[in-house]
């Protein structure tokens, strides 16, 4: 029996849908405020309808206005709603199925690390082969600049934070600090921004190769990484890198990140 395409729409309340579209319109605007005409053109509703919606949203502080001529913006009432959502977000809960899927796809170790000051801490891991455990134990802290995950995180840091990171006395992007090559790193970070992932080919632990992708949240900054690690060949790393990058994007989106400005090359 063919499903009626309109069956799922019969419970939609048009006025509520339009109000949500107005909020999404304001949220997506690059301007601090939007005029009534702009909103109407974007959402495609009549001015009288839009004005009524905006007036109602203002009553609950979901929208604020400096006067009709100066335009509208999102209101402070959304802060409480956002906080409620954020308080309920558990990164590990979202990441667990992704980590397991990653491990199964590459037949190796997959792990999630979270930034903790100048270090990252492993908070979850999964090994497809329990006989071969090659990732640091859960709770282990390592320098934020450590190998593949260090490059993946650094590539997406705000410029000021990246500059501060690169001023540190000891950097572990290429294994031991004495092996650090700034010129090489800059090229690696540029590549990571294009592909969405970074690699380490045995420089941290000889024989073990890794690919890592950043995990980005609603703040638009990295909060950690997803990584696969194993006795992979160079060709396998090239194959698995995009898989890790996609997993990083999936987890980031679940955490509320807007990735429109990220991974442009990878999505092209």
Average pLDDT of 137-166?
91
Residue 36: give its domain's CATH number.
Answer: 1.10.10.10
Is 2 a domain residue? no
Same-domain status, 136 and 215: yes
Same-domain status, 160 and 257: yes
- Total number of domains constituting the chain: 2
d(CA 251, CA 106): 18
- Find tokens 């980005």 and name the residue: 216
**How much is the pTM?**
0.67
Check whether 147 has a pLDDT greater than 70.
yes
Main-chain dihedrals φ then ψ at residue 209, nearest 5 degrees: -110, 150
Contact 149, 227 (CB under 8 A): yes
Contact 201, 209 (CB under 8 A): yes
Average pLDDT of 49-72?
88
Residue-range definition of the domain harbouring residue 239: 89-267
Same-domain status, 148 and 199: yes
Same-domain status, 141 and 250: yes
52, 68, 85 - which closes a domain: 85
Same-domain status, 236 and 177: yes
Same-domain status, 128 and 200: yes
Residue 249: give its domain's CATH number.
Answer: 3.30.450.40
Same-domain status, 134 and 33: no
Is 1 a domain residue? no
Main-chain dihedrals φ then ψ at residue 234, nearest 5 degrees: -60, -40
d(CA 70, CA 34): 8
Average pLDDT of 233-249?
95
Check whether 86 has a pLDDT greater than 70.
no
């Amino acid at each position: 029996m063919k499903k009626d395409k309109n069956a799922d729409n019969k419970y939609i309340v048009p006025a509520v849908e339009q109000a949500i579209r107005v909020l999404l319109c304001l949220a997506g605007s690059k301007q601090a405020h939007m005029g009534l005409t702009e909103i109407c053109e974007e959402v495609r509703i009549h001015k009288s309808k839009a004005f009524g919606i905006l007036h109602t949203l203002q009553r609950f502080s979901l929208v604020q206005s400096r006067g009709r001529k100066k335009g509208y913006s999102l209101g402070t009432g959304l802060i409480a709603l956002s906080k409620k959502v954020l308080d309920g977000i558990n990164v590990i809960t979202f990441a667990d199925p992704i980590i397991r899927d990653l491990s199964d796809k590459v037949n190796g170790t997959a792990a999630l690390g979270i930034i903790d000051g100048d270090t990252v801490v492993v908070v979850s891991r999964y090994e497809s082969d329990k006989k071969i455990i090659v990732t640091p134990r859960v709770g282990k802290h390592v320098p934020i600049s450590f190998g593949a995950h260090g490059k993946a995180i650094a590539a997406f840091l705000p410029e000021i934070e990246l500059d501060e990171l690169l001023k540190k006395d000891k950097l572990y992007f290429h294994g031991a600090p004495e092996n650090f090559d700034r010129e090489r790193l800059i090229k690696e970070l540029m590549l990571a921004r294009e592909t969405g992932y970074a690699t380490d080919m045995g420089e941290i632990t000889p024989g073990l190769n890794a690919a890592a992708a950043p995990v980005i949240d609603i703040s638009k900054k990295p909060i950690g990484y997803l990584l696969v690690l194993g006795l992979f060949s160079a060709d396998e790393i090239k194959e698995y890198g995009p898989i890790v990058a996609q997993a990083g994007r999936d987890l980031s989106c679940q955490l509320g990140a807007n990735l429109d400005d990220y991974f442009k090359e990878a999505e092209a």
